[in-house]
């Protein structure tokens, strides 16, 4: 039996045990409780793409047990309802999920100088703030497209191809899918669409998928004095577009090269002789033998019945009186000019030419010739591009080398280029 002192000690010990047990139970329940879910934005900033739509997203550290609403506030220079709209006024995370979205749709007034900030509000019970509590929404440099026409001035013969290049505010650009950018006539145009020219297809510059350059083609219809200028600009572009070097391009209607051939032309220059020398002497061809000994007495005369020649210089060894057949326009790169500009060249077939281009050897046959008419210092120039020749008195080594490349004609990319000036 316990005496009073022993009983008191036992009661005190039992009480201490109960208190300790209760404390351990309480600690155990606290340690096993689920931690609060952290909620934050997925990204610190969102760029508005070309579509004008972007989706904001909040994420949680774990799935929520019940539907959770996260309020937010907005500030910034962009005005809701004017510059953009939102698909919802709060983020609603459905039970059993770990994210929620709100879509932003911008209007035409949202430009690159505007932005707004979205900041998460008070977290509901069971949730705490993550690291990214706000995000910025704007048109970012990577979303800006800097556009420029390839050339400020273009000459249209039978056709004209107008190119537009694109890059982003941070560098190169590649179209993920085909882009169609509308164009329109700008102030200063005098040519009448449908009368003096037409668009070959829709009035859109087409940028193929995977490319950074687009093209639109124009067709010549009719030459009229005072109605010979087309000025093009982009139409209905959004605020992602920023003009580069050439926001417009001027297209001068020159008309068909072929119809301008009629008349007499006198020899003026061997325009690509320096380029030929540079690109052929490594094969030990003597530049002194090139057909450069010509004068302004050497004439090409185009008439209704074809070509007549009056020549005493080296050019007489190539040209013959001949019928002329129009084969249409082709693109030609002027390799001898800085930047290798592309021009429209009229391809014709002459019924007779001495392709050996020699005073002692002859191989007379039909062949192709390139012709281009342009104006320089107020004078009309006929540029003659000889591509169909098989020289025996000059460039013989180069010709033998080029035969292995498989081009037709062999010297398609090693032309001789002469210029003649109109006499009448």
Average pLDDT over residues 270-298: 97
The pLDDT of residue 354: 99
The pLDDT of residue 11: 52
Cα(131)–Cα(133) distance, rounded to whole angstroms?
Answer: 6
- Going by pLDDT thresholds of 50, 70 and 90, the confidence category of residue 259 is confident
What average pLDDT does the chain have?
A: 92
Long-range contacts, 407-412 (Cβ 8 Å, 24+)? 409/367, 409/368, 411/387, 412/387
The pLDDT of residue 257: 87
Cα(141)–Cα(240) distance, rounded to whole angstroms?
Answer: 9
The pLDDT of residue 20: 47
Residue 424 has pLDDT above 50, yes or no: yes
Asked if 422 and 264 touch (Cβ cutoff 8 Å), the reply is yes
- Going by pLDDT thresholds of 50, 70 and 90, the confidence category of residue 239 is confident
Structure tokens at 235: 């139409």
pLDDT in tens, 51-67: 899 999 999 999 999 99
Nearest alpha carbon to residue 159 among 256, 262, 260, 259: 256
The pLDDT of residue 238: 83
Q: What is the DSSP string of 235-246?
A: -S--TTEEE-S-
pLDDT in tens, 189-224: 999 999 999 999 999 999 999 999 999 999 999 999
Residue 21 has pLDDT above 70, yes or no: no
Cα(332)–Cα(311) distance, rounded to whole angstroms?
Answer: 27
Cα(206)–Cα(78) distance, rounded to whole angstroms?
Answer: 32
Specify whether the backbone of 298 is left (phi greater than 0), alpha (psi in -120 to 50) or beta: beta
DSSP-assigned letter for residue 60: E
Q: How many CA atoms lie within 13 Å of 14's alpha carbon, on the beta-carbon side?
A: 6
Average pLDDT over residues 243-258: 94
pLDDT in tens, 332-387: 999 999 999 999 999 999 999 999 999 999 999 999 999 999 999 999 999 999 99
Nearest alpha carbon to residue 384 among 353, 352, 408, 348: 348
Cα(316)–Cα(309) distance, rounded to whole angstroms?
Answer: 8
Q: Which residues contact 407 (CB under 8 A, 6 or more apart)?
A: 413
Q: Chain centroid to CA 203: how far?
A: 17
Asked if 228 and 160 touch (Cβ cutoff 8 Å), the reply is no
Fold match, 37-140 / 145-253: yes
- Going by pLDDT thresholds of 50, 70 and 90, the confidence category of residue 22 is very low
- Going by pLDDT thresholds of 50, 70 and 90, the confidence category of residue 25 is very low
Q: Which residue has the tokens 């590649």?
A: 174
Q: Helix, strand, or coil here: 390?
A: coil
- Going by pLDDT thresholds of 50, 70 and 90, the confidence category of residue 12 is low
Average pLDDT over residues 316-327: 98
Q: Where are the domains of the chain?
A: 37-140, 145-253, 258-422
Residue 15 has pLDDT above 60, yes or no: no
- Going by pLDDT thresholds of 50, 70 and 90, the confidence category of residue 33 is very low
Q: Helix, strand, or coil here: 378?
A: coil
Which CATH superfamily groups domain 145-253? CalX-beta domain (2.60.40.2030)
- Going by pLDDT thresholds of 50, 70 and 90, the confidence category of residue 236 is confident
Residue 53 — φ and ψ, nearest 5°? -120, 140
Cα(227)–Cα(223) distance, rounded to whole angstroms?
Answer: 8
Which CATH superfamily groups domain 37-140? CalX-beta domain (2.60.40.2030)
């Amino acid at each position: 039996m316990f005496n009073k002192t022993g009983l008191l000690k036992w009661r005190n010990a039992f009480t201490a045990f109960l208190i300790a047990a209760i404390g351990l139970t309480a600690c155990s329940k606290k340690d096993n409780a689920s931690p609060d879910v952290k909620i934050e934005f997925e990204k610190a900033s969102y760029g508005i793409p070309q579509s004008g739509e972007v989706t904001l997203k909040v994420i949680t550290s774990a799935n929520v047990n019940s539907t959770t609403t996260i309020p937010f506030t907005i500030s910034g220079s962009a005005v809701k309802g004017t510059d953009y709209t939102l698909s919802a006024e709060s983020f609603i995370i459905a039970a059993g999920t770990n994210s929620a979205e709100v879509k932003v749709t911008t209007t035409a007034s949202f430009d690159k100088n505007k932005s707004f900030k979205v900041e998460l509000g008070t977290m509901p019970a069971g949730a705490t703030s993550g690291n990214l509590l706000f995000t910025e929404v704007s048109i970012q440099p990577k979303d800006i497209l800097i556009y420029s026409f390839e050339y400020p001035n273009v000459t249209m013969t039978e056709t004209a191809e107008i190119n537009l290049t694109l890059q982003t505010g941070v560098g190169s650009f590649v179209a993920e899918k085909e882009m169609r950018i509308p164009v329109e006539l700008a102030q200063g145009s005098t040519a009448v669409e449908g009368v003096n020219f037409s668009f070959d297809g829709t009035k859109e510059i087409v940028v193929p998928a995977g490319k950074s350059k687009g093209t639109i083609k124009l067709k010549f219809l009719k030459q009229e004095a005072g109605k010979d200028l087309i000025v093009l600009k982009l139409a209905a572009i959004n605020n992602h577009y920023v003009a580069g070097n050439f926001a417009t391009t001027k297209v001068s209607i020159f008309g068909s090269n072929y119809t301008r051939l009629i008349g007499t032309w006198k020899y003026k220059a061997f325009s690509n002789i320096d380029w030929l020398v540079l690109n052929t002497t490594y094969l030990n061809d003597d530049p002194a033998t090139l057909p450069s000994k010509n004068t302004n007495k050497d004439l090409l005369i185009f008439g209704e019945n074809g070509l007549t020649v009056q020549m005493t210089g080296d050019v007489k060894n190539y040209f013959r009186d001949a019928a002329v057949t129009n084969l249409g326009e082709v693109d030609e790169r002027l390799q001898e000019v800085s930047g290798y500009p592309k021009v429209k060249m009229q391809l014709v077939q002459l019924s007779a030419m001495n392709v050996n281009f020699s005073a002692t050897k002859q191989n007379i046959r039909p062949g192709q010739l390139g012709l281009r008419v342009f104006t320089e210092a107020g004078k009309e120039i006929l540029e003659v591009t000889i591509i169909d020749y098989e020289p025996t008195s000059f460039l013989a080594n180069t010709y033998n080398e080029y035969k292995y490349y498989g081009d037709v004609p062999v010297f398609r990319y090693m032309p001789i280029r002469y210029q003649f000036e109109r006499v009448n």
